[in-house]
């Protein structure tokens, strides 16, 4: 959420920074801006439009510089206006960009106002710029170190000063920040992706670190102000991950990458064993007598799906909680409960806070299913399974979800094995199904032309209902979320048996009702629910397994799923729902990859 790029070099840094901003734009796109230092003067350009517009402004004004910082914003404090766009200045001396939220900004603002500072934005960020200016006595590092101890909340910052044209200082606490090491040039970014193609030598800063960056060196200090050594890692983020190739949108690209992403997530899988989750997994998993899953958004729906697998296959009780709720409610801690966090980014503030809360309550056994190996979530959990979805750029999550489900299925099998509930024959059969899964997903993707035909009809509606039962109820929730996120159609999901307790009142001939109809034990019940909809004139759009005998007739539109995939069926059934949302949004002309008001990685509360 929000993106930072900074550079100090012996060349004009504008192209590197704009390229970095474009790569981070999916993180937040309410506004963007760049500040440059040229001949001791700070200049900036800001826009409430997209980075492409900023690029034009910068070029029209012939801005350039060897030192600069840039930002793309997801608004928290203050509307998305130019005045609130980063970088923020303190006088003509200090320029700063910030990700995160400063919780004590109001009190700092009053203090700084009393000292004569004049504020030109409503942001929490501007207080940091003035605070650094107040402490500035000719040494930017010292000023930043003095300022950060006054800040409460989460931040990653990059700061430059007109008086020191070959120096940039960064600091992190609760929001990610990396240093990119170049040849006689160095960089800062909130994600290594921003620097792909520029440098692959990356230092991941740790909580409380402050970094002092020059042309030829960089010095890191820990939270106590002591020099700290941090490993330089070779990070191979391929610059091409942020290119569209033959696709119109990243979401479409990512939907079609799912067979590959699932295959990569299963890479090297020979059999079920605890060490899939880390060398020390066995005692942690063996100790667990129940599971608590914590997550947000799409990852939460992956958790809801996993509950069915864990309870039916591994026979272990599971609770799934929305992280932002769990962290603030009085819950009954349970020492032997395994805490499982699910997160694409591994940086979602609410999920991290919920994990820490669970730990404070005495629940030490933790495992994360995460797509970013270097993330805070992976660092903070005892065990991890890294999904290999690759970088996901579309704000609406797709391949991250199906790879999470794949990993969660492996977790269910592993716990089942430890609890003596997985025979070698069952294990072999599930492994066979998992190996065939990428091909099964590819077969579902081939349904796209039929789904495009439905999307035209959906685009004319303002509401839609999604129905599922059992393990496909969370898939209905995910389908509804996808549709509302990117097409702005109001969509709700219900377990089909619950229809008669309220939502049936909404059903008229104008209401499209998407129904997930796998051939499972609940099929006959589901068919009755479908009749309840038809009797009120509702239009059913059914994704039916080929062996369900549900056929198209008046008011019932059917797309046949290629094969019934048993326990793994949710992974297949979510795919047409992703495509339906995508194509409906396309017809409605919305910004598919950057839906209004949303952001990819929500690192603020």
Query: Is 190 a binder of ligand G6P (CB under 6 A)?
Result: no
User: End-to-end distance of the chain based on CA atoms, in angstroms?
Assistant: 11
Residue closer to ligand G6P, measured from CB, 97 or 395: 395
At 36 the three-state DSSP class reads strand
- Determine the interface stretch with ligand G6P among 86-94, 285-293, 452-460, 597-605 (rule: CB under 6 A): 597-605
Query: Starting at the edge strand that comes first in sequence, how are the strands of the sheet with 67-73 ordered?
Result: 41-47, 31-38, 67-73, 3-8, 186-189, 178-181, 201-204, 232-234
Burial of residue 64 (CB within 10 Å: 0-12, 13-18, 19+) is: middle
Residue closer to ligand G6P, measured from CB, 275 or 325: 325
Burial of residue 362 (CB within 10 Å: 0-12, 13-18, 19+) is: exposed
Site for ligand G6P, residues 9 to 38, rule: CB under 6 A: none
Among 395, 437, 480, 592, which residue sits at the site for ligand G6P (rule: CB under 6 A)?
395
Among residues 555, 538, 559, 272, the alpha carbon closest in space to that of 428 is found at 272
Residue 71 φ then ψ, to 5°: -155, 145
600 is catalytic: yes
Residue closer to ligand G6P, measured from CB, 172 or 469: 172
Among 253, 337, 573, 600, which residue sits at the site for ligand G6P (rule: CB under 6 A)?
600
At how many degrees (to 10) do helices 569-588 and 473-487 cross? Answer: 20
Rounded distance between C-alpha atoms, residue 335 and residue 34, angstroms: 49
Query: Is 299 a binder of ligand G6P (CB under 6 A)?
Result: yes
Residue closer to ligand G6P, measured from CB, 343 or 417: 343
Query: Is 297 a binder of ligand G6P (CB under 6 A)?
Result: yes
Total interface residues for ligand G6P by CB under 6 A: 15
Rounded distance between C-alpha atoms, residue 470 and residue 519, angstroms: 12
- Determine the interface stretch with ligand G6P among 128-136, 159-167, 239-247, 595-603 (rule: CB under 6 A): 595-603
Nearest-approach distance from CB 296 to ligand G6P, in angstroms: 4
Nearest-approach distance from CB 407 to ligand G6P, in angstroms: 13
Nearest-approach distance from CB 373 to ligand G6P, in angstroms: 14
- Determine the interface stretch with ligand G6P among 100-108, 264-272, 293-301, 434-442 (rule: CB under 6 A): 293-301
Residue closer to ligand G6P, measured from CB, 218 or 604: 604
Residue 562 φ then ψ, to 5°: -60, -40
Q: Which residue is nearest to ligand G6P (CB)?
A: 297
Among residues 266, 298, 261, the alpha carbon closest in space to that of 441 is found at 261
Given the residues 22, 253, 399, 600, the one annotated as active site: 600
Query: Is 322 a binder of ligand G6P (CB under 6 A)?
Result: no
Residue 28 region, left (φ>0) first, then alpha (ψ -120 to 50), else beta?
Answer: left
- Determine the interface stretch with ligand G6P among 136-144, 272-280, 338-346, 360-368 (rule: CB under 6 A): 338-346
Rounded distance between C-alpha atoms, residue 560 and residue 280, angstroms: 44
Query: Is 483 a binder of ligand G6P (CB under 6 A)?
Result: no
Residue closer to ligand G6P, measured from CB, 199 or 345: 345
Residue closer to ligand G6P, measured from CB, 296 or 338: 296
- Determine the interface stretch with ligand G6P among 12-20, 49-57, 186-194, 596-604 (rule: CB under 6 A): 596-604
Query: Is 366 a binder of ligand G6P (CB under 6 A)?
Result: no
**Radius of gyration for the chain, computed over Cα atoms and rounded to the nearest angstrom:** 25
Q: Strands 88-90 and 94-102: what pairing?
A: antiparallel
296 is catalytic: no
Rounded distance between C-alpha atoms, residue 223 and residue 221, angstroms: 7
- Contact (CB, 8 A) for 318 and 367: no
Query: Is 598 a binder of ligand G6P (CB under 6 A)?
Result: yes
Query: Is 590 a binder of ligand G6P (CB under 6 A)?
Result: no
Query: Is 348 a binder of ligand G6P (CB under 6 A)?
Result: yes
Nearest-approach distance from CB 215 to ligand G6P, in angstroms: 35
158: CB partners within 8 A, 6+ apart? 4, 5, 6, 69, 96, 97, 168, 169, 170, 177, 188
Nearest-approach distance from CB 474 to ligand G6P, in angstroms: 13
Residue 570 φ then ψ, to 5°: -55, -35
Query: Is 258 a binder of ligand G6P (CB under 6 A)?
Result: no
Active site residues: 2, 600
Give residues in contact with ligand G6P (CB under 6 A): 296-299, 343-345, 348, 351, 395, 397, 598, 600-602
């Amino acid at each position: 959420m929000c993106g930072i790029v900074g550079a100090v070099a012996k060349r004009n840094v504008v192209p590197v920074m704009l390229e970095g901003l474009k790569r981070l734009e999916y993180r937040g796109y309410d506004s963007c801006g760049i500040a440059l230092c040229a001949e001791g003067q700070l200049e900036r350009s800001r826009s409430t439009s997209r980075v492409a517009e900023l690029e034009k402004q910068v070029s029209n004004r012939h801005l350039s510089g060897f030192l600069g910082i840039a930002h793309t914003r997801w608004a928290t404090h203050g509307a998305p206006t130019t005045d609130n766009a980063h970088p923020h200045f303190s006088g003509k001396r200090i320029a700063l960009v910030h990700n995160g939220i400063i919780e004590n900004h109001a009190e700092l603002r009053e203090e700084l106002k009393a000292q004569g500072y004049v504020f030109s934005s409503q942001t929490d960020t501007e207080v940091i710029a003035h605070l650094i200016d107040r402490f500035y006595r000719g040494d930017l590092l010292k000023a930043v170190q003095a300022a950060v101890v006054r800040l409460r909340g989460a931040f990653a910052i990059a700061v430059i000063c007109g008086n020191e044209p070959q120096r940039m200082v960064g600091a992190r606490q609760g929001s990610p920040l990396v240093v990119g090491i170049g040849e006689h040039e160095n960089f800062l970014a909130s994600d290594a992706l921003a620097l792909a193609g520029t440098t692959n030598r990356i230092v991941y800063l740790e909580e409380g670190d402050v970094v002092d960056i020059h042309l030829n060196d960089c010095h890191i200090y820990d939270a106590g102000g002591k020099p700290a050594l941090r490993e330089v890692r070779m990070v191979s983020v391929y610059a091409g991950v942020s290119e569209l190739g033959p696709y119109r949108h990243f979401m479409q690209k990512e939907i079609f990458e799912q067979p590959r992403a699932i295959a990569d997530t299963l890479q090297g899988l020979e059999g079920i064993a605890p060490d899939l989750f880390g060398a020390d997994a066995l005692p942690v998993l063996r100790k667990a007598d129940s599971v608590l899953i914590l997550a947000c958004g799409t990852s939460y729906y992956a958790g809801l799906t996993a509950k069915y697998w864990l309870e039916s296959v591994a026979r272990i009780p599971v609770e799934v909680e929305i992280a932002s709720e769990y962290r603030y409610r009085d819950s009954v801690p349970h020492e032997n409960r395994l805490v499982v966090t699910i997160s694409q980014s591994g940086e979602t503030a609410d999920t991290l806070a919920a994990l820490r809360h669970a730990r404070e309550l005495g629940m030490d056994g933790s495992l994360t299913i995460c797509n970013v190996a270097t993330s805070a979530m992976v660092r903070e959990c005892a065990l991890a399974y890294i999904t290999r979805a690759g970088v996901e750029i579309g704000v609406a999550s797709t391949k991250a979800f199906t790879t999470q489900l794949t990993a969660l299925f492996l977790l269910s099998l592993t716990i089942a094995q430890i609890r003596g509930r997985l025979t070698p024959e069952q294990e072999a059969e599930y492994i066979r199904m998992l190996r065939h899964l990428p091909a099964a997903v590819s077969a579902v993707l081939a349904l796209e032309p039929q789904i495009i035909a439905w999307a035209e009809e959906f685009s004319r509606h303002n509401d839609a209902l999604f129905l599922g039962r059992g393990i496909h109820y969370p898939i209905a929730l995910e389908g509804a979320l996808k549709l509302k996120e990117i097409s702005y159609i109001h969509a709700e999901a219900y377990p089909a048996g619950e229809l008669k307790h309220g939502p049936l009142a909404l059903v008229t001939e104008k209401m499209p009702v998407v129904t997930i109809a796998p051939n499972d034990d609940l099929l006959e019940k589901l068919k009755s629910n479908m009749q309840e909809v038809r009797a009120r004139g509702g239009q059913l759009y059914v994704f039916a397994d080929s062996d369900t005998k549900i056929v198209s007739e008046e008011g019932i539109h059917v797309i046949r799923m290629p094969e019934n995939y048993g326990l793994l069926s949710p992974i297949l059934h979510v795919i047409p729902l992703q495509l339906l949302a995508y194509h409906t949004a396309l017809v409605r002309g919305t910004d598919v990859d950057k839906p209004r008001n949303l952001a990819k990685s929500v690192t603020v509360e």
